[in-house]
Structure 1
Amino acid sequence: MTRPPARLLAAVVALLLAVVPIVAPAVADAQPSTLPFLTVQIDGITPDVVTTTSDPMVTVTGTIRNVGDRAVRDVVVRLERAGAVTSSTALRTDLAGNVDQYQPVADFITIAPEMARGQEVPFRLGYPLRSPDHSSLDITEPGVYPVMVNVNGTPDYGEPARLDDSRFLLPVLGVPPAQSSDATTDAVTSAVPPDTTRPVGLTMFWPLADRPRLAAGAPGGTTPVRLIDDDLATSLAAGGRLDALLAAADFATSPQVDPGGEVTSALCLAVDPDLLVTVNAMTNGYVVNDAADAGPRTTPTHPGTGQQAAIGWLNRLKALAQRMCVTPTVYAQADLDALHRVADPGLSAIATNGAGDIVDQILGVTSTRGASIVGDGPLTAPAVDLLSAQGPTVAIAAANLTGPSDADGGQPGTADTAPVRYTANVVTTPFDPAVGAALAGMGTGPESPSYLDPSLDIAVKQDSAIARRQDALGALLWRGLDPETVPRDQILMPPMTWSATADDAEAVLTAVASTIRSGLAVPRPLTAVIDAANAVHGGVPAPPENAGNPRGRFDDGVVSGIAATTARLWGLTGALTTDERTGLTGTQYTAPLREDLLRALSLSVPPDARNGLAQQRLTTVGTTVEDLFKAVTIVNPGGSYTLATERSPLPLALRNDLPVPIRVRLDIDAPPGMTVTDPGEIVLPPGFLPLKVPIEVHFTQRVAVDVALRTADGLALGEPVRLSVHSNAYGKVLFFITLTGGAVLVLLVGRRLWHRFRGQPDPADLDRPDPIEVALAYQDDDGGRR
């Protein structure tokens, strides 16, 4: 008997599988599927923070969706819990990867016998925190507990498997009392309060910042102000991101809500000067580029819509700043590592020490100085060198933390947040990067900060906003709930461009208030943080040169381009002076362009887009700087000059299209035979300035004279001009010829007078005929008198 062809056999097997699906019950230890069939989203967690007065029942609601290409049968779900978090790294690793640490709270519950493609099914799981009689979470002590919703199912043509899970952190500040439901007893288990013997000194920065929005290439005094988009109009208006952050801080620190001022003392507004500059400019009206980028200054525009929102938001911020701590961030959240590679001390000073002056001027307050908020990037050795050159400061940056590895036996670790002195001028007070990353995962734009080591990175975007909020609350409260963790100080540092919603912001500030009022934390003002850090002595080696995640590092081409443009801009600024009519100074006129270069290095831009947007902004600024140099020039007459004498001045006309005067020098390339008197340094006001340059020529001919304009320090301005000059003067040659002719004439006249005085004929007349004889000869020839 012949064997059937292989292709025919495969077709028969496929047909049988299609009509006879495999049936198997879901099992607790089913392996996770590698294909996306189901997704679970958590829609609500009640309570989000458990206290001794909370409802003892923990309820989790959510939705399961079939996102695969086939139906899924026997869809079941259950709740699982891991032990309390005891390390910083566990705040991240328990939310991803291995699930061996999770134990079931109860059996699987069937939520759907079958789910078709695209179908959604809600679920609700509710269990007491502890119960001697029924299934419960079995939580008897305060702490932060990882909880997982585990979803199993059987896809068509597949085996039972764990198709998805969603994990979150459940902070338990205190265990509420539990009552037995046994009919024979009515015993009540007492509440378990937290250990408050070692409270944490808590400091939280509340960021008010945004991505750079001002269009590049607009010098000072340019009106109307141009923005690359109108997103700030939405963000500043009611319900917007910046409005929600400001409103939450305002409410949480109001006298009615915080009568003792505990939250106010622990909180400090971290304000980006670039945001203030932008919002302040918007209050006077502005336009928006039609193209949503930082393109050329000639991009068509349309009127902006956020003027009133900017006025209202800025006034509210000014009022809030009067009653609480305000500190500046690095200008535009510039990357200090890249800024150090630019190696321009002036630009570095503007980004760091100069930021506070802008905040004080616009808000009308005295901001808290002495701290440098590094932002969302790591503190590297170059960043330490840059800060050290600017004077004493306390760097607020992420601590060094990596996930468990084979090298350390897979042991979890906890971030060391004790102050560390690197140089005589720089001491850092670190924050826990696991906590900072959890806060960064909140809101509408969850991201992993670049300071986070890749070993602790988790996929936050697939989780629901509720789950990510729970992770942030748990991370925020963890150190206070674990009395064995040292040191007992904590800095909470959300990302600068925090995308937290109004509900997120309210939840975070409520958690801060709860941990303080429960005795787990005490407020620690920023001034106390700075004083304690400055008291640290000794020194340790600088942090690694390339700490954190290398993704998003600025290219060397961007850095070198910024360095070259900055040098030219400083050179031009040094030649500019003050316009007495308007009061505009050269520094004020070019300041926005230097700020543009800092915006090009902003860490607020997503890592994958940083170099592209930086190069775009740099190109625009470079073009503008070149235009400023070309705006000061010599007017080309287009004809020729004729000099009447050897000392006739050379007439010139200079043009300055800048709104401020500039100090210039003339560079005249004179040909041999022409001497030029250097007019020295010339203060060229805006507009035209006629000049007469003293010269002396010693020839009679047409020549070309090249004239160039430079700054006082020698930088070329405008385009050089070639003048055609014609001289009618003979100079010294004509002088000597005239002098010689005059001497000969005097000599001849003197000789004739000498001979006449002596009665002698002049020898010059001996070869001439006698006039009488000539007359007689004439008469004879004519035949008579005439």
Structure 2
Amino acid sequence: MRGPARLLVAVLALLLAVAPVAASPVAAAQPGTVPFLRVQIDNITPDVVTTTSNPLVTVTGTISNIGDRPVRDVVVRLERAKAVASSTALRTDLAGNVDQYQPVADFVTAAPELARGQRVPFRLAYPLRSGVPSSMRIDNPGVYPVMVNVNGTPDYGAPARLDDSRFLLPVLGVPPEGDSDSASEALDSAVPPDTTRPVGLTVFWPLADRPRLAAGAPGGTTPVRLIDDELAGSLAPGGRLDTLLTAVDFATGPEVDPGGNVTRTVCLAIDPDLLITVNAMTAGYVVNDAADAGPRTPTHPGTGQQAAVDWLNRLKALARRMCVAPTTYAQADLDALHRVADPGLSAIATTGAAGILDQLLGVTSTRGASLVGDGPLTAPAVQLLSGHGPTVAIGAANLGEPGETADGTAETADTVPMRYTPTVVAAPFDPAVGAALAGMGPTPESPSYLNPALDVAVKQDSDVARRQDAIGALLWRSLNPDIGPRTQIVMPPLMWNLAPADAQAVLTAVASSIRAGLAVPRPLTALIDEATSAARDAPLPSGSLGNPRGRFDNGVVSGISAATGRLWGFTAALTTDERTGLTGNQYTAPLREDLLRALSLSVPPDARNGLAQQRLTTVGRTVEDLFNAVTIVNPGGSYTLATERSPLPLALRNDLPVPIRVRLDIDAPPGMSVTDMGEIVLPPGFLPLKVPIEVHFTQRVAVDVALRTADGLPLGEPVRLSVHSNAYGKVLFFITLTGGAVLVLLVGRRLWHRFRGQPDPADLEADPTRPDPIEVALAYDDERTTADPDERPAADPGKRRAGTPAGGDDA
């Protein structure tokens, strides 16, 4: 019995050790550790408060049980923080600590119990102004953080805050008190904003996309090839690019903007790569069956030709009445491009972008500004720009980690123009505002220039809440007249993905701030002039800027540098095809643009290096194919030279659509000299050649022939020719000359004796009895000319007639 007793004691001890863990409610009730509830905000009224707004703020939404157990006593309340006073607070008030929030009213029961998967709506409505116990207590204009706080008690848990949703409420003006006795008193009680120091506002409206052209297709390739057909849907009605274009077209129309204030404030920021792609689609295109494949992949027809035609025509009409500025080509990362260290590629990305817009849109785009895009403005980026003429770089300001300044307030982005070099002036925009705009729409993202410490996990928030955050951040500086400078640049992410309601809300907020006197239009040309004249000298940016996850690897950068160098060298050897007008630069330009697409910031940070290496590999294979397209035709046999100066026949082949300047490199053995043919212009197709050579031997030898560009880059594969020479050199020449001279002397001597009627002594000494061949021939001829045989002269009995056998008779 002792064994079973011990076993029973052990089992009981184990049960007692496990039971407290299973029954403990603490871990299950800690907010944020286990998801139980999720609150979603569906509507906020008014979304922007003005002096004419409803004085009641209403928030409606849904609470859902997303946990693994029921939740009892689900309650909800509205809380508010003080008006935002700094850039960092635009981010930090939306995440993390909740100590700054104070309740507007007591908790309201949303549901006595919420089962797994069940949802329940809620509605919270409170007066805006103070004066009653349950109110928002907002008496002055500003941007106010608001939080919907949800508490509950999960099964096996204790009451706790199980979720919250936060948003920014912009208050342009406080409406009058609702209990005023007269209309005049009500009007007097309204609190308008301070408009004594309006903000000079410049808004960029991006029209850009991820690179869609398939890599590795040189110029002149028709039809154009795309990696996918997503752009067709984006250009079609209701698509992303259609939404952006439609919204700005409507907001700047003469009916909506009769004074032109929004038109002067907004400037279209267009990616030249997108414009080239859409323009190519208008002529018809095909789509790769595999997105990561090269130019030999099977394809299927694209579906967006008509959508591209319509969208491009609408853009051309809009560009004729408002500002247009180019982004860097394909939104290339200037920091990585500086590490590539190729001036030609850098020029395409920066100064060459405006000409593409001018050509395809039929307008003159605004020069003098460099739209850096979604990457940080680092020292290498500034150094790259400084090599391409004067420019104002539009990039994110350096907003560090959250912290307090010397006066005890939170940090605010310094957006004062700074002169980094004699040719580069930076006009920074607030990264907190840009990040809030990037959080809008169905695919919220954090831009690469944002410090990771200021990142906010907003993907779980509703579209409405994120829209409120963006509008609040956009209006924050104009509602704080003490924050300097009194200028503002609004730069959304270039890959902005907005719903129609989002786009309308942003442009409406811009128009409202101008109408309220909080902002005045500042066109891009004025921004450039003001930044250039008012910039203060500053050292180059230093330290760790932006998100390190968005940095391109050194392997990608070095690969692009090597491919670019080879491509420029090959392009220098190409000329113009007179039949088609295609130039060498036009033929290889798409491959250089592919290398810029590999450095695009439009790709999410975690995928940048992988997609860049994929595109680089495809371009590298194509460049190698270009070099191998110019070859020497291998005869497959041997050549026999009849003389020492017989030319060496060769045939060159050019499979390119443009001529190329080449040189022959012939490795001749000793005893063979080759005449340098110099630079040869090799047209498309075949070109037979005869290479002058001189051989001083008689034997079979191997001759190696290679083809190079005019600058020495090897083309194709070298060819080994088998050459057999019959030449004997100078000795054979003198022997032949001597033999000929002896022959002439002998013939001359014989003829001399013949003309004098004397036999040749050489013949007599050889055979004294032998008749003279000439006399025999003459006698034979006389016999043949005698007509009557009876009159023939008697033959000399001592002689036979030629052709008669000895001892025979004439027939």
Normalising by the residue count of structure 1, what TM-score does the alignment of the two structures yield?
Answer: 0.92
Matching residue of 1:364: 362
Paired amino acid for 1:179: G
Change (3 A) 1:769 1:209: closer
Matching residue of 1:346: 344
Paired amino acid for 2:528: I
Unaligned runs of 5+ in 2: 771-805
Alignment of 1:483-562 (within 5 A): 483-536=481-534, 539-544=537-542, 546-562=544-560
Aligned counterpart in structure 2 of residue 412 of structure 1, from 362, 385, 410:
410
Paired amino acid for 1:714: G
Alignment check: 8 A CA contact 1:380 1:547 kept? yes
Change (3 A) 1:695 1:17: closer
Matching residue of 1:640: 638
Alignment check: 8 A CA contact 1:295 1:616 kept? no
Matching residue of 1:610: 608
Equivalent residue of 1:386, what SS? helix
What is the CA deviation profile of residues 119-164 of structure 1, one whole-angstrom value per residue up to 9, with x for unaligned ones? Answer: 1111111111014234110000000000000111111111111111
Matching residue of 2:783: none
Shift, 1:116, TM fit: 1.3
Shift, 1:749, TM fit: 8.6
Shift, 1:741, TM fit: 3.3
- Whole-angstrom distance in 2 between the partners of 1:401 and 1:22: 42
What is the CA deviation profile of residues 584-639 of structure 1, one whole-angstrom value per residue up to 9, with x for unaligned ones? Answer: 11111111000000000000000000000000000000100110111111111111
Alignment check: 8 A CA contact 1:216 1:596 kept? yes
What is the CA deviation profile of residues 43-85 of structure 1, one whole-angstrom value per residue up to 9, with x for unaligned ones? Answer: 1111110001111111111111111111111111100000000
What is the CA deviation profile of residues 491-516 of structure 1, one whole-angstrom value per residue up to 9, with x for unaligned ones? Answer: 00000000111110100000000000
Matching residue of 1:69: 68
Matching residue of 2:327: 329
What is the CA deviation profile of residues 452-472 of structure 1, one whole-angstrom value per residue up to 9, with x for unaligned ones? Answer: 111211112111111110000
Matching residue of 1:387: 385
Equivalent residue of 1:382, what SS? helix
Paired amino acid for 1:355: A
Paired amino acid for 2:615: R
- Whole-angstrom distance in 2 between the partners of 1:608 and 1:408: 37
- Whole-angstrom distance in 2 between the partners of 1:177 and 1:295: 64
1:477 and 2:475 equivalent? yes
Alignment check: 8 A CA contact 1:96 1:458 kept? yes
Matching residue of 1:206: 205
Matching residue of 2:112: 113
Matching residue of 1:452: 450
Matching residue of 1:576: 574
Alignment check: 8 A CA contact 1:131 1:178 kept? no
Shift, 1:22, TM fit: 7.1
- Whole-angstrom distance in 2 between the partners of 1:653 and 1:510: 70
Alignment check: 8 A CA contact 2:425 2:535 kept? no
Equivalent residue of 1:620, what SS? helix
Shift, 1:480, TM fit: 0.4
Change (3 A) 1:579 1:785: closer
Equivalent residue of 1:178, what SS? coil
- Whole-angstrom distance in 2 between the partners of 1:736 and 1:260: 102
1:132 and 2:131 equivalent? yes
Alignment check: 8 A CA contact 1:180 1:188 kept? no
Change (3 A) 1:534 1:17: closer
Paired amino acid for 1:590: T
Shift, 1:302, TM fit: 1.0
Structure whose CA Rg is larger = 2
Alignment check: 8 A CA contact 2:330 2:597 kept? yes
- Whole-angstrom distance in 1 between the partners of 2:603 and 2:186: 58
- Whole-angstrom distance in 2 between the partners of 1:755 and 1:362: 96
Matching residue of 1:59: 58
Matching residue of 2:285: 286
Alignment of 1:55-454 (within 5 A): 55-180=54-179, 190-291=189-290, 293-405=291-403, 411-454=409-452
What is the CA deviation profile of residues 499-553 of structure 1, one whole-angstrom value per residue up to 9, with x for unaligned ones? Answer: 1111101000000000000000000000001001121465321002642111121
Shift, 1:647, TM fit: 1.6
- Whole-angstrom distance in 1 between the partners of 2:333 and 2:724: 59
Alignment check: 8 A CA contact 2:417 2:536 kept? no
Matching residue of 1:652: 650
Shift, 1:222, TM fit: 0.4
- Whole-angstrom distance in 1 between the partners of 2:297 and 2:410: 53
Unaligned runs of 5+ in 1: 773-783
Paired amino acid for 2:273: D
- Whole-angstrom distance in 2 between the partners of 1:785 and 1:37: 142
Shift, 1:729, TM fit: 2.6
1:724 and 2:722 equivalent? yes
Equivalent residue of 2:722, what SS? strand
What is the CA deviation profile of residues 153-210 of structure 1, one whole-angstrom value per residue up to 9, with x for unaligned ones? Answer: 111111111111110000000011122399xxx9887111101010000000000000
Alignment check: 8 A CA contact 1:328 1:356 kept? yes
- Whole-angstrom distance in 1 between the partners of 2:581 and 2:443: 44
Matching residue of 2:36: 37
Change (3 A) 1:421 1:694: same
Alignment check: 8 A CA contact 1:179 1:188 kept? no
- Whole-angstrom distance in 2 between the partners of 1:194 and 1:181: 20
What is the CA deviation profile of residues 536-586 of structure 1, one whole-angstrom value per residue up to 9, with x for unaligned ones? Answer: 465321002642111121111111111111111111111111111111111
1:683 and 2:687 equivalent? no
Q: Which has the larger displacement, 68-77 or 465-474? A: 68-77
- Whole-angstrom distance in 1 between the partners of 2:377 and 2:683: 46
Alignment check: 8 A CA contact 2:649 2:689 kept? yes
Aligned counterpart in structure 2 of residue 8 of structure 1, from 8, 12, 15:
12
Alignment check: 8 A CA contact 1:326 1:368 kept? yes
- Whole-angstrom distance in 2 between the partners of 1:513 and 1:768: 129
Normalising by the residue count of structure 2, what TM-score does the alignment of the two structures yield?
Answer: 0.90
Paired amino acid for 1:259: P
Equivalent residue of 1:478, what SS? helix
Equivalent residue of 1:707, what SS? strand
Alignment check: 8 A CA contact 1:569 1:625 kept? yes
- Whole-angstrom distance in 1 between the partners of 2:747 and 2:294: 82
- Whole-angstrom distance in 2 between the partners of 1:658 and 1:750: 64
**Percent of aligned pairs with the same residue?**
79
Paired amino acid for 2:307: A
- Whole-angstrom distance in 2 between the partners of 1:769 and 1:248: 122
- Whole-angstrom distance in 2 between the partners of 1:10 and 1:163: 33
Equivalent residue of 1:179, what SS? coil
Shift, 1:8, TM fit: 2.6
Paired amino acid for 1:444: P
Alignment check: 8 A CA contact 2:405 2:411 kept? no
Paired amino acid for 2:15: A
Paired amino acid for 1:243: D
Count of aligned positions: 771
Change (3 A) 1:644 1:595: same
Q: Which has the larger displacement, 403-412 or 248-257? A: 403-412
Alignment check: 8 A CA contact 1:133 1:180 kept? no
Aligned counterpart in structure 2 of residue 667 of structure 1, from 665, 668, 675:
665
What is the CA deviation profile of residues 304-342 of structure 1, one whole-angstrom value per residue up to 9, with x for unaligned ones? Answer: 110110000000000000000000000000000000000
